[in-house]
Chains A and B, each alone.
Chain A
Amino acid sequence: KQEVTQIPAALSVPEGENLVLNCSFTDSAIYNLQWFRQDPGKGLTSLLLIQSSQREQTSGRLNASLDKSSGRSTLYIAASQPGDSATYLCAVSNSGYALNFGKGTSLLVTP
């Protein structure tokens, strides 16, 4: 069974810092990996999706990388802002259908 781990569980940084969120998975035969953002009491917003054949994806200040062989992905957030405060979820799909989620990293960016 695919196990997805996110480290750290919580992170607090001052505004303006660059930061990295980590995601690891046990089965490297993945179809794709998706990063989501979840605000308190809200649904999931898709940030980036990386196909298994890709090494990275970028969207604005966000960059996600994928290393299938080592079972790792990172989400890099540049020049963090208080509005980036949220929980970030990593989800891996082995089939292209079901997602296996990590428990998330709770990020707080302080002014």
Chain B
Amino acid sequence: NAGVTQTPKFQVLKTGQSMTLQCAQDMNHEYMSWYRQDPGMGLRLIHYSVGAGITDQGEVPNGYNVSRSTTEDFPLRLLSAAPSQTSVYFCASKALATTYNEQFFGPGTRLTVL
């Protein structure tokens, strides 16, 4: 299994540009989520999904959109990038129908907005 994969690894955007960060998992996990990691702030939840067609907001959702059309994929869209969105973005997944609720993280996407 590849686990949780993210593309791209690095990205530089100009203010106002849009882009999509890709996340995929091959573990058939129902739950997927996006976090951002900023120096001195720790990781914060952006959006999450408990299954195809179901998404909800986390702690810091403004400026980001998500959709979940398949179990495997959970893309994160930046509609109009701002310098405040410069961060490292991590995607995570876990199974719901189990008592062992370990979450697995992808390698991250390092985004710089100029």
Contact = CB atoms under 8 A, between A and B. Distances in A.
Interface of A: 4, 31-32, 34, 36, 42-46, 49, 51, 89, 91, 93, 96-99, 101-104
A44 B90 contact: yes
Contacts of B42: 4, 89, 101-104
B102 A98 contact: no
Contact of B103 (A4, A34, A104): A34
B57 to A, nearest CB: 11
B106 A43 contact: yes
Interface of B: 31, 33, 35, 40-45, 48, 50, 58, 90, 92, 99-108
Contacts of A103: 40-42
Contacts, number: 55
8 contacts: A42-B108, A43-B108, A51-B100, A91-B43, A96-B101, A99-B92, A99-B103, A101-B35
Contact of B48 (A31, A34, A45, A97): A97
A46 B102 contact: yes
Contacts of A101: 35, 42-44
A79 to B, nearest CB: 25
A42 B45 CA distance: 18
A11 to B, nearest CB: 17
A93 B101 contact: yes
Contacts of A4: 42
A98 B43 contact: no
Given A31-B101, A34-B102, A97 B31 contact: yes
A39 to B, nearest CB: 11
A46 B102 CA distance: 8
A31 B94 CA distance: 14
B41 A49 contact: no
Nearest to B44: A101
A96 B41 CA distance: 22
Per CB-CB distance, the 3 closest pairs between chain A and chain B, nearest first, are A44-B105, A43-B107, A101-B43
Given A36-B105, A97-B50, 16 more contacts: A42-B108, A43-B90, A43-B107, A44-B90, A45-B105, A51-B99, A51-B100, A91-B43, A96-B101, A97-B31, A98-B58, A101-B43, A101-B44, A102-B42, A103-B42, A104-B42
